[in-house]
Amino acid sequence: MNKIISSMALLFIMLFISACTGNTDSADDTTTPKAVEVEILLPEEISLNEESILKVRLTQDQENVEDAEDVQFEIWKANSQEKSELVKAKYEKEGIYSVKKTFQEDGIYYVQTHVTARGMHVMPKKQFVVGNVSEEELNSLKEEPQTQGGSQGHSHHH
């Protein structure tokens, strides 16, 4: 009786081990999709009470993403994220999506893009300055971590 139980246990362990190694082979056959890269493109200077165009370029494996399901820009003034504004972007061309925005106040702002494309959700964030900003405000800008373009931020693969 013990011999049968030992044989069954050994058989189970062998099946378990072979199943694990078998899965690694099939994992090699399926390639993981490349991440969607997001580059936030802002004007060099943003003036008060003038319409500015904020853009984002989407690429995947160095090719333009022209079929994003959803691209939105969340914009807020520093220390006021609870008052953020969410603006749906329009597709232009060559993987570039844009929004138009007029800023009413000088200050340090943030833009965070919410991009859903090809089964991924990418949310990079970038700081920028509108109009005239005091030295004190600029110093606080330098102290806070800044996320540049690319796919930094939150990336969720679905």
Residue 124 and residue 79 in one domain = yes
List pLDDT tens digits, range 9-20. Answer: 555 555 545 555
By the 8 A CB rule, do 63 and 35 touch?
no
By the 8 A CB rule, do 38 and 58 touch?
yes
Residue 111 and residue 42 in one domain = yes
| Model pLDDT, residue 57 | 98
φ, ψ for residue 2 (rounded to 5)?
Answer: -60, -35
The number of domains in the chain is: 2
Judging by DSSP bridges, how do beta strands 120-123 and 154-157 pair with one another? antiparallel
Domain of residue 103, residue span: 36-157
List pLDDT tens digits, range 35-48. Answer: 999 999 999 999 99
List pLDDT tens digits, range 44-103. Answer: 999 999 999 999 999 999 999 999 999 999 999 999 999 999 999 999 999 999 999 999
Residue 11 and residue 61 in one domain = no
